[in-house]
Chains A and B, each alone.
Chain A
Amino acid sequence: MEVRGGETTGRDGVLHVDISKRRVQAERSFDLHLACQVPAGITILFGPSGAGKTTLLDCLAGLETPDAGRIVLGESVFFEAGHGINLPVQDRRVGYVFQDLALFPHLSVEKNVEYGLAKQEGAERRERSGVLLEAFGIAHLRQRRPREISGGERQRVALARALVTNPCLLLLDEPLAALDAATKSKIVEDLRRWNQTHGVPILYVTHGREEVFALGERVLVLDGGRVLAQGTPHEVMTAPRIETVAQLAGFENVFEARVAAIHADRGTMTCQLAGGPEIETPVVRGEKGAALRVGIRAGDILLATELPRGLSARNLLPGKMLAVTQRDVIVEAKVDCGVPFVVHLTLAARDSLQLQPGREVWLVIKTHSCHLMAR
């Protein structure tokens, strides 16, 4: 078999993946068995957290090694377990925009973008990076360091840095997660325009259901390390089997649970969250002891710093603050109630509540904010 690294052009390079990988982590082991084909154009990689999206991207980039199988892009074999082929990361020509961007903090915006052009002459390097800096509207930031520019600008720099090398495959791990809708669609337009001339497969990871319809020509749905479905967003996202996954992906909080008691007369039931508290949920068909998943949106949870009284909401969970992080204009609070909950707050709410880690808090969740899904 001929192995070629750097020379393949992007055009018509279809990505063939058939890999398996076993990961043993602290609490649970995780099996990934993925087989898929990705043609040129944007393919959305969709699924709940822990579905294996980032692991797949890392395997494609060469940052992780699958246990078995093969990865082929066009004519170049990235990985083939049987033949002992494992092309080093730096020879794969894969553009990768990481979830945390991983811009080089000690280099200016310009130097970050030029980083991948080490083999080019100085003049050509400046020209190629200049074109992308202009195209992404960040040319005026050339001399700034990554910490001196805004979140949206950083995302553009990361994208420009990955594109400037003319990669044969582009991997985007939730690259626009923290951006507002307008900025997001602008960047996606830039990306589409770029790919009209380059025609490479682009894998775009997202959690957001609405992004699937807005961006992708194709969608690949992952759950539990398997490909659950692939096709156009419309075909895939409306198929009943996928609905669970699609719904699941829209929830920041998903818990394994068991039905502890059913109160048919009141239209509710009590569910025991695995390793956590009991909560009251709407009643669904199912019997006592049945296993299901409970999804709760982070924005549907109220957070109180004193024990609230006289509420209509039936679920009042005591907990401890774990951490507060800011993602653009949303503040994400992690609260330990036996199981970790994610709660979204506004900036103003964070400032007035003084939520330092370790603080006692209460979470208020309406019965009907608990969405039940079959497993």
Chain B
Amino acid sequence: MDLQALWLTIRLALLVAGILLVLGLPLAYWIASTRWRWKFLVEAVVALPLVLPPTVLGFYLLVAMGTRSPLGRWWQSLTGHALAFTFEGLLIGSILYSLPFAVQPFAASFAAVDRRLLAASATLGAGSWRTFFRVVVPLSWPGLVSGMALSFAHTLGEFGVVLMVGGNIPGATRTVSIDIYDKVQAFDYAGANHAALLLLLLSFAVLSLVYAVNRRIWMVSPWK
């Protein structure tokens, strides 16, 4: 078992889930509340990673991170090294790749909050921030937990994007899924099995959490 790869994978997945919570909440709230007619385009862009081959996303990310692109040059001038084939680059790729897994459950649970409750909150003097944190978030927390757990689990298992933008650098970009691939290539089936079994159990545990959270809400408060 490659503990270094395991630790790196978990760190990556936790960071992705955390950052997607911060980035995904406002984006999802905007999607759930705006009446802008071109909103569907934004929704389509958010959903792209669901259908796009990871290699396509990875390829464009690699190009965008290269020193010939403005982003790559800006990063280079800021940090002194390139973005591709680093943990940071991998993080950016993973965030984009897991975006729909966070934003879609967030937006769906926001949209399910009764608009009359938001109106009631406003007439009681609450601004939009207070309404968001006192009414919207508490009433949609199963969706928030689901979104974070799904983006965590999805990041655990990603392979294509990692391979394209991260390569296989131990301690920096070598994740468990890459490790499994390497072991199979090297005919180390026992080692691959250990790592694979661990990912399987971890993913199962996280998904059980998602369904347990949603089931509890359904069973305890049939509010209608």
Contacts and interface: CB of A to CB of B under 8 A. Distances in A.
Interface of A: 61-63, 88-96, 98, 100, 102-106, 115-116, 118-119, 147, 161-162, 165
| Chain B residues touching A, range | 10 to 19
A166 to B, nearest CB: 11
Contacts, number: 62
B127 A90 contact: yes
Nearest to A103: B120
Interface in B98-121: 114, 116-117, 119-121
B221 A118 contact: no
A118 B117 CA distance: 17
Interface in B118-148: 119-127, 130, 134-135, 138-139
A89 B122 contact: yes
B223 interface: yes
Contact of A96 (B120, B126, B221): B120
A106 B120 CA distance: 14
A105 B127 CA distance: 19
A7 B38 CA distance: 40
A160 to B, nearest CB: 12
13 contacts: A61-B123, A63-B119, A88-B122, A90-B122, A90-B124, A90-B125, A90-B126, A98-B116, A98-B120, A102-B116, A115-B124, A119-B125, A162-B124
B218 to A, nearest CB: 14
Given A88-B122, A115-B134, A118-B126, 19 more contacts: A62-B122, A89-B122, A89-B123, A90-B124, A95-B123, A96-B119, A96-B120, A96-B123, A98-B120, A104-B117, A104-B120, A104-B121, A104-B135, A118-B125, A119-B125, A147-B221, A147-B223, A161-B124, A165-B125
Given A96-B120, A115-B134, A106 B125 contact: no
Contacts of A88: 122, 127
Contacts of B126: 90, 115-116, 118
